[in-house]
C-alpha cells in the first residue's frame, strides 16, 4: 500500500500512532480527496485528475477498509460499489409527501398562457400588475427519488411510491456517482433532496449493446431494455446492488422535502431558483437548461426553446415544468387535492413514427364494445415498442381508410393507448381491401349492434359473452343490483379465470370446496360468500332487472319497468309499442330490451336463475297516476343534515322525479348540502334553482319553490 500521500512533513513532530489510528486518518483523508474529485467529475464536469489516478486512490481506500472493516463508513466512495443482496425492499413513509404536479395537456403556447392566467387570478393580480417570476425546468423521463441526509450523510433513498410511502432503495442509489454520499458541514441536520434518477441515451445504448453481447454468448436470463426509463427503474429496484452498479444511472435534483436544523436558523434562500443553486453548491447536479423567466411570454419562449433542443438532449424528457419562483408565493398559493397550485408540467406534442399494418383485428371489451385494432410491425415510439394501435371504431377506420399492408403514422402520447393517426397513401399496395366492421361478435357470435346516435358497435351477448363475463358478474353482484356482499372484482377474476363460473346461475351452484381452493380464501370467508349468495336470492324486481345489465337500462328505468309491468314475464314478452308506453322510455331503450330478451341464451339464464331460487315479489301492473315531480330532473350534491344520498334519491324517484348525476340547462333543481362542489357552482352559473334539505322536503310535499 502506497502511503506517501500521508507521511509527516520534516517539520512535524513524530507521534506514536497505532496501526488502526494511522489507517483511520488515512481513510478519512482519502475519502475527503475522492469526494472532491468525484464532485469535480460528476457535478462540475471538470475533472481534476486522470481516471487512472482516481482509480489508484480509490483502490488504496478499498485496501484500508478491507484490512480494517470497522473503518468502512456509509459515506465512503467505496460504498457505491455493489454490496449484499437484500431479501426484499422495506417501505419508507415520506415525512413530507412526494406530490405529483398537474399536467397541462394543451401542448401549444396557450398551455403556458393558461397557467400564468391561473396563477395571476389566484394571487389577485390585475392586468397591469407586475409579471410573476417563474423557474422553468425540464421534465425528465425517469424515476422520482427522495434522498435523506442526516448531519450531511446519506442515510436513505426512497422511490415516490404512492406519494406517502415508497421503497427503500438506498443500496442501489449509492451506486450512482452523481449523488453525494456526504455533504458540506453547513447543511441542515435533516435534509431531504428530491430529484429524478434517469439513464442517458448513450449509456442506454451501451447497456443494450452489452446485453446483446451476453445474449449472443448464451448467458441465460439476459435481455435488452425497451427504453432508458424502464432500464433506470429496473436498476433502482434490483435487490442485488452489484447489478445496479453495472447499469449507468444519473441524477438531477429539483427540490426539497423535509428540512430541520438549519445551521444559522433560517434557510439561505427565499426563491426556488436560489434553492437550486444552493443544492448545486452542496454537490447535486442541476440541469443546465433551468432558468428564471417572467410571465407567460417567458414561459412560452422556454417551452419553444426546449422543443428545439429536445432531440439533441443527451436524455429523454416529455415536457417542461413551470414553478412560481418566490417561495412565499408558493406557500400562499398552496395545494389543491394532492397537487401544488404553483407548479405545472407542460407537455410537448405526441411523438409519431411510421410503421406497417400487418392485420386488423376486432377486440371486445368488458362492456361489449367492439374496437378495431391495427396489428403493427414493431415500432419504437413514445418511449416504448408499439405493436398494436387502436382505430377506435368503424367510422374512424373508414375516415382514415386504414387497410392491411398500409404504411401508417402511429402516435403515442405519454401513457395514452397508441393510435393510428393517418395513412401514407402513396405507399399503398395495389389491391388493398377496405376494412369492414363485423356485425357478429368475434367472441360469442352474438349480433353486434350500433345505436343511431353512437359510433361503437356492441356485442348483444351480454350475460353470455365471454369477453363481458366478468363485467356481468360485477354488475349483477353490486349493491344497487342483486347485491352479493363480498363478491368483488378480485374474487370474480379468480372464479372466472379458474373456470369455476361462466354464467350467472353458476354463482348459486358454488360450493365450499370450490371456494376454499382459491388463493387467500379461508373457510370462514368462503362460508360468508355462500351466506351472501343465499341472502341475495331474496331481491326485488327492479333490482333484478337492473342486475341483468341490459344496455341503456339504469336503476330508474328498471324501476319504471317493474312499476309498469308488475312482473318479469310481461317485460320479457313486451312489444316495442308496449315498451314505449313506459315513462321516460324511448325507441333506443325499447329496442335494447327487445334485443336482449330475444336471445335464447338470455332467456335460459333468467330461467336458470329462477330455478336456483332467485325470487322477487310480483303483482299487477301499477296504476299510472300523476306524480307531483313527473318530468322534473333533480341533482343531489354535498351532504344533507339528516337524509342520506340514497334516501333522498328514493324519495325523489317515488315522487316521479328523475335523479341525474350532472347539472345542465335541463336540470329542474339542485339539492345542495354541506361541502357541495362544482355541481353547485354550475347550478348558480346556469341559474338553476338550488334547494337545501328543508326546501327538498317542502318540494316533496308539493310546495312551490323557485330556489334559494
Closest C-alpha among 136, 180, 147, 150 to residue 272: 136
Query: Among the residues of 39-137, which ranges form H helices?
Result: 51-67, 109-123
d(CA 480, CA 549): 12
Residues 6+ apart with CB under 8 A from 421: 352, 400, 408, 409, 410, 411
Strand partners, 317: 140
DSSP class of residue 642 equals: S
Instruction: Check: CB of residue 427 under 8 Å from CB of residue 406.
Output: yes
Question: Could you give the count of Cα atoms lying within 13 Å of 633 in the half-sphere of its Cβ?
Answer: 11
d(CA 356, CA 343): 40
d(CA 409, CA 402): 11
d(CA 233, CA 242): 15
Q: Phi and psi for 169 in degrees, rounded to 5?
A: -125, 30
Instruction: Check: CB of residue 135 under 8 Å from CB of residue 189.
Output: no
- Written as nine digits, the cell of 295 is 410571465
Question: Could you give the count of Cα atoms lying within 13 Å of 566 in the half-sphere of its Cβ?
Answer: 6
d(CA 389, CA 160): 30
For 394, left (φ over 0), alpha (ψ -120 to 50), or beta?
Answer: alpha
Residue 6: helix, strand or coil by DSSP?
helix
Neighbours of 629 (CB within 10 A): 20
* E strand map for 226-369: 250-260, 291-294, 317-324, 335-336, 339-340, 343-347, 351-364
d(CA 224, CA 212): 7
Distance of CA 179 to the CA centre of its chain: 28
d(CA 350, CA 383): 11
What HEC string does 295-317 produce?
A: HHHHHHHHHHHHHHHHHHCCCCE
d(CA 302, CA 136): 7
Q: Is 13 a catalytic residue?
A: no
Question: Could you give the count of Cα atoms lying within 13 Å of 600 in the half-sphere of its Cβ?
Answer: 0
Closest C-alpha among 451, 478, 476 to residue 462: 476
d(CA 114, CA 125): 14
Q: Phi and psi for 255 in degrees, rounded to 5?
A: 180, -175
d(CA 534, CA 395): 46
- Written as nine digits, the cell of 258 is 423535509
Q: Which of 139, 323, 400, 559 is catalytic?
A: 139
Distance of CA 187 to the CA centre of its chain: 35
Query: Annotated active-site positions, please?
Result: 139
Amino acid at each position: 500500500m502506497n502511503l506517501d500521500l500521508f507521511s509527516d512533513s520534516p517539520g512535524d513532530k513524530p507521534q506514536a500512532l497505532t496501526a488502526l489510528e494511522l489507517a483511520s486518518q488515512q481513510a478519512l483523508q482519502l475519502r475527503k480527496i475522492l469526494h472532491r474529485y468525484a464532485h469535480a467529475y460528476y457535478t462540475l464536469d471538470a475533472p481534476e485528475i486522470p481516471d487512472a489516478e482516481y482509480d489508484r486512490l480509490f483502490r488504496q481506500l478499498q485496501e484500508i477498509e478491507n484490512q480494517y472493516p470497522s473503518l468502512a463508513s456509509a459515506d465512503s466512495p467505496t460504498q457505491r460499489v455493489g454490496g449484499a443482496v437484500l431479501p426484499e425492499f422495506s417501505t419508507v413513509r415520506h415525512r413530507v409527501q412526494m406530490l405529483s404536479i398537474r399536467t397541462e395537456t394543451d401542448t401549444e403556447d396557450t398551455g403556458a398562457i393558461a397557467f400564468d392566467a391561473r396563477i395571476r387570478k389566484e394571487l389577485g393580480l390585475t392586468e397591469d400588475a407586475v409579471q410573476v417570476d417563474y423557474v422553468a425546468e425540464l421534465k425528465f423521463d425517469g424515476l422520482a427519488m427522495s434522498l435523506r441526509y442526516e448531519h450531511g450523510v446519506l442515510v436513505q433513498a426512497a422511490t415516490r411510491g404512492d406519494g406517502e410511502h415508497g421503497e427503500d432503495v438506498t443500496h442501489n442509489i449509492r451506486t450512482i456517482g452523481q449523488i453525494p454520499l456526504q455533504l458540506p458541514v453547513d447543511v441542515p441536520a435533516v435534509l431531504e433532496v428530491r430529484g429524478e434518477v434517469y439513464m442517458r441515451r448513450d449509456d442506454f445504448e451501451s447497456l443494450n449493446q452489452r446485453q446483446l453481447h451476453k445474449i449472443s454468448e448464451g448467458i441465460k436470463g439476459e435481455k435488452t431494455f425497451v427504453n432508458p426509463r424502464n432500464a433506470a427503474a429496473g436498476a433502482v429496484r434490483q435487490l442485488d446492488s452489484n447489478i445496479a452498479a453495472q447499469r449507468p444511472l444519473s441524477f438531477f435534483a429539483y427540490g426539497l422535502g423535509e428540512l430541520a436544523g438549519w445551521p444559522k436558523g433560517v434557510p439561505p434562500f427565499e426563491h426556488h431558483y436560489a434553492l437550486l443553486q444552493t443544492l448545486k453548491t452542496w454537490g447535486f447536479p442541476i440541469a443546465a437548461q433551468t432558468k428564471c423567466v417572467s410571465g407567460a411570454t417567458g414561459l412560452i419562449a422556454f417551452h419553444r426553446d426546449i422543443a428545439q433542443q429536445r432531440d439533441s438532449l443527451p436524455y429523454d424528457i416529455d415536457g417542461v415544468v413551470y414553478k412560481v419562483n418566490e417561495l412565499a408565493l408558493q406557500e400562499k398559493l398552496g395545494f389543491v387535492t394532492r397537487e401544488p397550485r404553483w407548479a405545472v408540467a407542460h407537455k410537448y406534442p405526441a411523438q409519431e413514427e411510421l410503421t406497417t399494418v400487418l392485420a386488423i383485428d376486432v377486440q371486445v371489451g368488458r362492456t361489449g364494445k367492439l374496437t378495431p385494432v391495427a396489428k403493427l410491425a414493431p415500432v419504437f415510439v413514445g418511449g416504448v415498442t408499439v405493436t398494436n394501435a387502436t382505430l377506435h371504431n368503424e367510422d374512424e377506420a373508414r375516415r382514415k381508410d386504414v387497410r392491411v399492408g398500409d404504411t401508417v403514422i402511429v402516435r403515442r402520447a405519454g401513457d395514452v393507448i397508441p393510435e393510428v393517426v393517418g395513412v401514407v397513401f402513396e405507399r399503398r399496395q395495389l389491391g388493398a381491401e377496405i376494412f369492414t366492421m363485423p356485425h357478429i361478435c368475434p367472441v360469442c357470435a352474438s349480433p353486434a349492434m350500433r345505436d343511431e346516435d353512437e359510433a361503437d358497435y356492441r356485442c348483444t351477448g351480454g350475460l353470455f359473452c365471454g369477453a363481458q363475463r366478468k363485467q356481468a358478474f360485477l354488475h349483477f353482484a353490486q349493491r344497487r343490483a342483486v347485491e352479493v356482499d363480498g363478491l368483488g372484482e378480485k374474487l370474480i377474476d379468480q372464479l372466472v379465470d379458474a373456470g369455476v363460473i361462466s354464467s350467472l346461475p353458476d354463482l348459486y351452484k358454488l360450493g365450499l370446496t370450490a371456494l376454499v381452493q382459491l388463493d387467500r380464501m379461508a373457510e370462514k370467508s368462503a362460508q360468508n360468500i355462500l351466506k351472501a349468495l343465499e341472502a341475495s336470492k331474496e331481491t326485488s324486481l327492479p333490482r333484478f332487472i337492473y342486475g341483468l345489465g341490459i344496455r341503456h337500462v339504469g336503476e330508474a328505468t328498471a324501476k319504471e319497468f317493474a312499476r309498469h309491468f308488475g312482473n318479469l314475464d310481461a317485460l320479457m314478452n313486451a312489444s316495442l309499442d308496449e315498451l314505449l308506453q313506459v315513462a321516460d322510455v324511448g325507441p333506443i331503450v325499447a329496442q335494447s330490451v327487445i334485443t336482449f330478451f330475444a336471445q335464447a341464451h338470455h332467456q335460459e339464464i333468467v330461467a336458470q336463475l329462477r330455478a336456483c331460487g332467485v325470487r322477487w315479489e310480483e303483482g299487477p301492473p301499477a296504476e299510472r297516476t300523476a306524480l307531483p315531480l313527473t318530468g322534473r330532473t333533480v341533482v343531489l350534491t354535498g351532504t344533507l343534515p339528516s337524509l342520506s344520498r340514497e334516501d333522498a334519491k328514493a324519495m325523489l324517484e317515488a315522487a316521479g322525479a328523475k335523479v341525474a348525476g350532472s347539472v345542465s340547462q335541463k336540470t329542474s333543481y339542485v339539492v345542495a348540502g354541506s361541502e357541495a362542489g362544482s355541481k353547485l357552482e354550475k347550478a348558480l352559473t346556469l341559474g338553476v334553482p338550488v334547494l337545501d334539505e328543508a326546501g327538498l322536503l317542502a318540494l316533496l310535499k308539493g310546495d312551490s319553490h323557485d330556489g334559494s
